[in-house]
Structure 1
Amino acid sequence: MNDAPLIVHLIYRLDFGGLESLLVERINRMPASAYRHAIVCLTDSNPAFARKITRAGVAIHALHKQPGQSPGTHVALWRLLRELRPAVLHSYNLSAVEYGPAALLASVPVRINGAHGRDHDDPHGTNRKHNALRRLMVPFYDCCYANSAAMEQWNRDVIRVPPYKSRMLANGIDAERFHPGLPDETVRPDGWPFDPAHFVIGTVGRVQAVKDHATLLAAFALLRERRPELPLRLAIVGDGPLLESMRAKAASLGLQDAVWLPGARTDIAQVLRNLHVFAMSSIAEGTPGSALEAMASGLPVVGTRVGGIPEVVDDGVTGLLVPPSDPGAMAAAFERYAGSPELAARHGAAGRERVLHKYSMTAMVAAYQGMYDSLCERKIKTRGAVTSCAE
C-alpha cells in the first residue's frame, strides 16, 4: 500500500487544455513514492481527456457546480476533503481560489493556489471584484505561485502576495514527444486536409474568447488578399465554446476550404510536425505551453505581446511578436515567414534550442515537487508531526 502524502488538485473542469495537459504530465511523471494524487473537478470531466492519466490510483471526483454562486459546492468540497485527508490542496486559477477556507476548515495542512492565466473578460487583471477575492484568499494559502514572471510580479504588486508566499514555476515540455519532423516525413494526421505544397499556419488551444481566434482568422484573410499567389492554409485545433462560431466566421469570410477546425485532437505532436508557422493570438496568457510545444517541434512562433508570451518567444530570434488584436501586424509577420522559408527554419531551430535549455519537463516536475516538499516540511515542523505533512 502506498502511504505517500496525497495531493488533491482542484480545477474547474478536466478537459483538453494547456493547464490540464501539464497537470496530467506532472501527475504521470512525479515519483509514485513521493506523492499520491487525486483530481477534484468543480464541474465535471471529459472521459477522453481523463484517459491521458497513466499513473495508477488517481481518482477523479466531480462536484457538478452550477454557474454563479454555489455555497453547496464549498460544503461538498469540505466533506470530500475530510474523507480524503490530503496533505496538500492545490487549486488552480481564479475559478478555484475561493475554496481555500474550505480546505482550512477540513484541516488540510498545505494549501496552494496557482495563477496560470486570466479570463478573457479580464485579460489585464483589472477587475476589482476578482482582485478583491484573490486578496481575501491570500491568508488561506501557504503559496500563491505563477507560471510566468509577469504574472508573479502582478501577484505581488496587485494581489499583494507577500514574497515568502510567492514563486514562479515555468511550464515544461516533453521535447522527446514534441520534435521537428524529418525532411522526408510523409506521415499526416488522420483527416489532414492539406497538401504538401501548402504553407500551413496553425494554432492549438481552447477555442475561447481569451485566445482571440477572430483576430487570427482576420489576419489570415488579410494575408490571402495580399498574397493570393501563395498556397496558404490555416489550422485551428482545439475544442471550446466558440468553435462553432469560428467555423461560421471562416465560412462568412469565404475561407471554409482553406481553414481546418477539427475540434479536439489527441495527436497534437503529429499535427505540429505538419505546420510551418505557429500562431498565438491571445489577449492574455501565462506561460504558453502550446507555444513551447511548437518551439520544441521546430516551429517559429508569431505571438501577441501579452502576459508570458514575450518571456517564451524571443522576438526576432525564435519568432515574431505583434500587438494583440491587430490583424494587420499579425498578417505582416506571417508574410515574412511565408516569403522566407530560411528565416522560418532558423527561428524554428533557435526555438527548439531555447526549450531544451530552459523549459524541460524534468525541470518542471522537479520544481513542483520541490514546492510540495518544502511546504510539507515546513508544516510538519510547525505542527510537530513526524511522519508526513498529512498528520
Structure 2
Amino acid sequence: MMTAQPRRRIVHVVYRFGVGGLENVVVQLINCLPADQFEHVVLSLTSVSDFRNRVMQPDVQFIELHKPPGHAIPLYPRIFRLLREVRPDVLHTCNLAALEIAPLAWLARVPLRVHAEHGWDAHDPKGESRRYQQVRKLYKPFVSHYVAVSEEINTYLSRVIGVPVHERSLIANGVDTDHFSPASGSRVAVQGCPFDLEKHWLVGTVGRLQTVKNQPLLARAFVSLLRSHPEAMDRMRLVVVGEGPLRAEIEDILSRAGVRQLAWLAGSRDDVAEILRSLRCFVLPSQAEGTSCTLQEAMASGLPVVATAVGGTSDLVEPNVTGKLVPPDDEAAMADAIWSLFGSAEKAAIFGRMARDRAVKRFRLDDMVARYGQLFSGESVSQEHRPK
C-alpha cells in the first residue's frame, strides 16, 4: 500500500488581507492549487477583512498581527515563534512590506522562502527609491526564489537588486476566463446601478480608491470630455467600483463640475464580473502597476481598454489592437482616448474581441497556478538557499 505524501504547508504573508490585486492572487492560489498537495496559512501583518470569504478551501488559517505603522521589529519574537509553531514548508511573502519576514523564516529554518514582487507603491512608482533598493538588497540572501509579475519588475530584480536568472521567475497574474467573459446578447441590469444599460454607454474602472490607483484622474478626464463634447452627456456615464480614501476627492471633482448624477460610485462589490459585462469601456488610470488583475479581468470580459502606460500594463495592452495607452497623469490624453472609443462602436468592438483573445491565450489562470505549484514544490529553486 502506498503511503500518502504529507501536504506542503504554505504561509502567505501580506501587509493587509483585503481587496487588492496581490491578495486576489493569493486567493486564486489557495483555491486552485491541489488541496491534496498543499495547505495554507494567511498571515496578515495588519488585518484580515471580509475578503477572506473569497477563499473556498475549508481549512485555511488566517492570522492577523495588527501591526501599527512603522517597522515590525517589536513583532519579530512573536512572528518567529509563530513560524516555529506552524512549521511551514514554504514562506510566500508579497511585496516589500512583507519582505522583512524572510530573515525570520530563515532563522526558523523554513526550507523554501519565495518572495513575489507585484508592483510599486505610490510614493515610489518606478522603484527608484535608493532606500527601498538597499532594503531589498539587504534581504536578498534570505530569499530562495523571487517571482516577478511583469517584465519591468523582472528586469528591476536583475539589474537593480542583482537577482540572478536562476533565482527568479516571471509569472504573470492569471484570470479565470470562464468567470470573466463577454456579455452575450443584451446587457443584464446590475443590482444598484442607476443607469439604463441599453441607453447609456458606461465607462468604468475597478480598484481600491487609493493614490497609486489614481481614480481621480479618470474623474477629471470624464469631466474634461463632457466639457469638450457636451453632446456625450446624454449617453456617457461613469462607473467607479471600489472603496478607499480617495472616494471624497472623486465625489468632489464630479460635484464641482455638476456631473455627480452621471456617475455611480458603487463601492466594494462581489459582482465585479457582472459589472464589467455592463461596461462599454474599461479604464485603468494607475500611477504604477505590476500586472493588473482588474485589467486582465476587463480584457477577458471583452472590453476595449484605456490605460496609463506604467509598469506591466504595457505588457498587457497592445496599442490600437486591444485598446489605448496614454501617459500617466494626462487627463486630456485619457479623455481623447475614451472619446475615440465612444465615437466608434466598430473600433471598440474590435478592440474588445482582440482583448478577449489575448486574455484567453496569455493570461490563463491554470498556467499561473501550475507555475506557482511547481515553484512551491521546490522544483525551480537553487539548493544553495535551503537551510542546512
TM-score norm. by structure 1 comes to 0.94
Greater displacement, 155-164 / 200-209:
155-164
SS, match of residue 229 in structure 1 = helix
Contact 1:16 1:239 in 2 (8 A): no
Report the counterpart of residue 28 of structure 1 in structure 2. Answer: 31
SS, match of residue 42 in structure 2 = strand
Task: Quote the sequence identity (%).
Answer: 39
Contact 2:220 2:253 in 1 (8 A): no
Q: Please show how residues 208-357 of structure 1 align to structure 2 within 5 Å.
A: 208-230=210-232, 231-357=235-361
CA distance in 2, matches of 1:146, 1:255: 40
CA deviation profile, 1:355-374 (whole Å, cap 9, x unmatched)? 11111111010011111123
* Amino acid of the structure 1 residue aligned with 2:231: E
Report the counterpart of residue 106 of structure 2 in structure 1. Answer: 104
SS, match of residue 120 in structure 1 = coil
Contact 2:144 2:385 in 1 (8 A): no
SS, match of residue 261 in structure 2 = coil
Report the counterpart of residue 179 of structure 1 in structure 2. Answer: 181
Q: Please show how residues 147-166 of structure 1 align to structure 2 within 5 Å.
A: 147-166=149-168
Residue 241 (structure 1) shift:
2.3
Does residue 56 of structure 1 match 2:58?
Answer: yes
In the superposition, relative to structure 1, how do residues 381 and 142 fare at CA in structure 2: closer, same or farther (>3 Å)? Answer: closer
In the superposition, relative to structure 1, how do residues 353 and 97 fare at CA in structure 2: closer, same or farther (>3 Å)? Answer: same
SS, match of residue 184 in structure 1 = coil
CA distance in 1, matches of 2:320, 2:294: 19
Report the counterpart of residue 190 of structure 2 in structure 1. Answer: 189
CA distance in 1, matches of 2:381, 2:24: 28
CA distance in 1, matches of 2:195, 2:300: 22
CA distance in 1, matches of 2:382, 2:8: 14
* Amino acid of the structure 2 residue aligned with 1:23: V
CA distance in 2, matches of 1:83, 1:251: 53
Residue 45 (structure 1) shift:
0.8
* Amino acid of the structure 1 residue aligned with 2:86: L
Contact 1:237 1:261 in 2 (8 A): yes
Correspondent of 2:6 among 3, 26, 45: 3
* Amino acid of the structure 2 residue aligned with 1:304: T
Greater displacement, 67-76 / 358-367:
67-76
CA distance in 2, matches of 1:19, 1:381: 25
In the superposition, relative to structure 1, how do residues 252 and 358 fare at CA in structure 2: closer, same or farther (>3 Å)? Answer: same
Report the counterpart of residue 142 of structure 1 in structure 2. Answer: 144
Structure 1: 5+ residue stretches without partners: 385-391
Contact 1:214 1:246 in 2 (8 A): yes
Report the counterpart of residue 89 of structure 1 in structure 2. Answer: 91
CA deviation profile, 1:108-154 (whole Å, cap 9, x unmatched)? 11111110010001101111111110111111001122100111001
Greater displacement, 264-273 / 105-114:
105-114
* Amino acid of the structure 1 residue aligned with 2:192: G
CA distance in 2, matches of 1:133, 1:94: 9
Report the counterpart of residue 371 of structure 2 in structure 1. Answer: 367
CA deviation profile, 1:32-57 (whole Å, cap 9, x unmatched)? 112111100000111x2111100121
CA distance in 1, matches of 2:27, 2:75: 24
Contact 1:138 1:144 in 2 (8 A): no
Structure 2: 5+ residue stretches without partners: none
| Alignment size in residue pairs | 382
Residue 334 (structure 1) shift:
0.3
Residue 214 (structure 1) shift:
1.7
Residue 182 (structure 1) shift:
1.4
Greater displacement, 259-268 / 158-167:
158-167
In the superposition, relative to structure 1, how do residues 383 and 81 fare at CA in structure 2: closer, same or farther (>3 Å)? Answer: closer
CA distance in 2, matches of 1:138, 1:73: 21
Residue 18 (structure 1) shift:
1.5
Residue 379 (structure 1) shift:
5.1
SS, match of residue 278 in structure 2 = coil
TM-score norm. by structure 2 comes to 0.95
Report the counterpart of residue 77 of structure 1 in structure 2. Answer: 79
